[in-house]
Structure 1
Amino acid sequence: MRASAADSDTDLIARAVSDLTRRTRFPVAFGGMLRDGAVHVSAVSGARTRHLETLIVESGRGLGGRAVLETRPRLALDYRTAKSITHDYDRMVLGEGIATLFAVPIVVAGTPRGVLYCGSWGQAPGAEVAARPAVAVADAVADELRIRDEVERRLSRARLEPAAEAMPAVAREQLRETYAELRRIAADVRDAGIRERLTRLHEKLAPASPADFEIGMNASLSPRETDVLACAALGSTNAQIGVALGLKETTVKSYLASAMSKLDASTRHSAVAKARRAGILP
């Protein structure tokens, strides 16, 4: 399980580092997750040398370690002469020729989970403005980690129960509320790539609680039809669903009608029941 999580973290950091070089004005980007009190750099982009590839930053040490300790971004306009940080990692950072360095911690629920760095070979005037997109990238990584943690927590709880009937009613309802909330969050994310990854995460919850899928049911609901039905499953009115999903009430009615038709259900309650038996909803 730990190996799988580590592989996922590595992929997540690699995508984030790629985003940094694309969305900021800094030519060099690197980053890693926090493990055993240190940030282990696992992805580097745009570097001229290999000095950064083996970098391990202890909490509180260097610019990144300071960012971890304070859980806020740190900027060194002239890294070589910066007096507010330790210089434990000069051999790697200066070996790459970096003059300006920006470190952004990845923080989930107040806890640092990793660090993303942006660097340039010359001093960069206006670096704070230029580095603002890096904060957005770090926030996106934190959001994905937070949602992934919640999904894994719910799945772990579901796996402990031998069947849906054995799952306490409260836990089952919490599972359904989490599923609906994750769908709402995914619908609000603008980045298509992140939205797709979040969709894959919350889809893991759909088959987590049903005991028996209905044989022969092959309904295929659209993402929005599923979003609306997931909210309806919690007892929300059309108006409440519209507010939650940012839709007009008439649009909600249209999605519900379409979902009911596909599921061959005469009421929303019947549609929800059939969707659960089909493994579309938890």
Structure 2
Amino acid sequence: MTAPSTLRDDAALVSHAVVELARRTHFPVAFGGLEHDGAVHVTTIVGARTRSIEGLVVHASRGLGGRALVERRPRMTLDYRTSRSITHDYDRAILGEGIATLFAVPVLVSGAARGVLYCGSWAQSPVGDVEARPAFDVAGELGTELRVRAEVDRRLASAPHPEGGLGAGVREEIRESYAQLRGIAAIVGDDEVRRRLEAVEARLAALTGDAGDTASDPDVHLSRREIDVLACAAVGSTNGEIAASLHLRETTVKSYLASAMSKLDASTRHAAVTRARRAGLLP
């Protein structure tokens, strides 16, 4: 059973995604939710003129969203009322809102469908690449956040309580997760998503307690990219591996490493990592 706190966190992520969906696609109605027990529970609605969609639960294979969930690909109908390609289990909700065109995009996490985001309009509105791309982007960003948070929560749950001390193996797990997370955040274009990923990074960094062992040095200021590169170097990645992870050129990685080493007054990357940890910049 999913913990109540996790469900609340899930709902907050969906709420942000639906708001972004409405803003980026300019469809008048947007709504969505995540899958629980074989059904998508709609938790956020933006732009609706009625309350008919509230509390909607869409079961797998049923309706447009149910098909999108099972097939793990977007589904669209220009005229919901007359569509013969879907079941009409949810006519009361969809037609009650007066929706004609409905577009459903699954939220995928590691290849599995975790939910569905919907865009709707009261008039028939063709959905081309220009209209669809923002919806794909929002669904992809939500999937990324869900995947990252689930992995972080899994590793946090397996870690000993800080009062008992963190073993070397757990510390390395946290540091590896931190490096992976920075790699994901580095290629996310949305500023709000990146900000929220940074908050998760902070949770991981705080677990090791290294920053508390030595006072942080306020005079050391590394750029985000310098920290990204050092975080990868800290778990033993080569320059080529760092470049692939962060989508950079290997020469650019070398430049960031050299700059970070200079700022930290370190002659090797190992020394730079050690001093960055003492300054509270890395876990």
User: Does TM, normalized by the shorter one, top 0.5?
Assistant: yes
Give % identity.
Answer: 58
- Is 1:229 matched up with 2:235? no
C-alpha distance in structure 2 between counterparts of 1:215 and 1:251, whole Å: 31
Change (3 A) 1:263 1:20: same
State the one-letter code of the partner of 1:175: I
Give CA deviations for 1:173-192 in whole Å, capped at 9, x if unaligned: 34322211211111111111
Residue in 1 that maps onto 2:202: 203
Secondary structure of the equivalent of 1:66?
helix
**Aligned Cα root-mean-square deviation (Å):** 2.6
Secondary structure of the equivalent of 1:50?
coil
C-alpha distance in structure 1 between counterparts of 2:229 and 2:254, whole Å: 9
- Is 1:163 matched up with 2:162? no
Change (3 A) 1:59 1:239: closer
| 8 Å contact from structure 1 (residues 71, 112) kept in 2 | yes
C-alpha distance in structure 1 between counterparts of 2:37 and 2:127, whole Å: 35
Q: TM-score, normalised by structure 2?
A: 0.86
| 8 Å contact from structure 1 (residues 210, 277) kept in 2 | no
Aligned positions, number: 279
CA shift, 1:91, in A, is 0.8
Residue in 2 that maps onto 1:132: 133
Residue in 2 that maps onto 1:269: 270
C-alpha distance in structure 1 between counterparts of 2:191 and 2:271, whole Å: 33
5+ unaligned residues in a row in structure 2: which ranges?
A: none
Secondary structure of the equivalent of 1:235?
coil
Give CA deviations for 1:5-37 in whole Å, capped at 9, x if unaligned: 222222211121112222224211111111222
Q: TM-score, normalised by structure 1?
A: 0.87
Change (3 A) 1:88 1:243: closer
Residue in 2 that maps onto 1:178: 177
Change (3 A) 1:125 1:145: same
265-274 or 174-183: bigger deviation: 265-274
Residue in 2 that maps onto 1:49: 50
237-246 or 27-36: bigger deviation: 237-246
| 8 Å contact from structure 2 (residues 60, 66) kept in 1 | yes
CA shift, 1:53, in A, is 1.7
Residue in 2 that maps onto 1:86: 87
44-53 or 263-272: bigger deviation: 263-272
C-alpha distance in structure 2 between counterparts of 1:64 and 1:133, whole Å: 18
Residue in 2 that maps onto 1:24: 25
